[in-house]
Amino acid sequence: MKVYWTMRNGNKIDIDEMDINHLRNTLKMLVRNTEKKKPVKPKFQIHGEIAQEMIFNELMNELMGDELDEYYNQI
């Protein structure tokens, strides 16, 4: 399965073809962005599978943005 990374300039690159420095920098960026956007624990409880799935999808979209959409389009 081919997986592509969308670079800042909009170009897509095959992750398997990224050099070690690019992979390292990408991982650092993901960690930084994840730390900045830590989800706040809600003061209410979500009941039901559909509601939980909707909340999960919203959080994942906030964290991963276009990369998540591309992943789902490839499945």
What pLDDT sits at residue 68? Answer: 59
What pLDDT sits at residue 46? Answer: 67
| Range with lowest mean pLDDT among 4-18, 19-33, 57-71 | 57-71
Average pLDDT (1-9) is: 90
Which has the closest alpha carbon to 59: 44, 75, 29, 37? 37
- N-terminal to C-terminal alpha carbon distance within the chain: 9
| Per-domain boundaries in the chain | 4-74
8 Å CB contact between 38 and 26: no
Render pLDDT for 26-70 as a digit per residue (tens, 0 to 9).
Answer: 999 988 888 777 666 766 676 778 777 887 778 777 777 666 566
DSSP structure string for 13-43 = EEGGG--HHHHHHHHHHHHHHHHHTPPPPPS
Which has the closest alpha carbon to 1: 52, 60, 73, 63? 73
Is pTM, for the whole model, over 0.75?
A: no
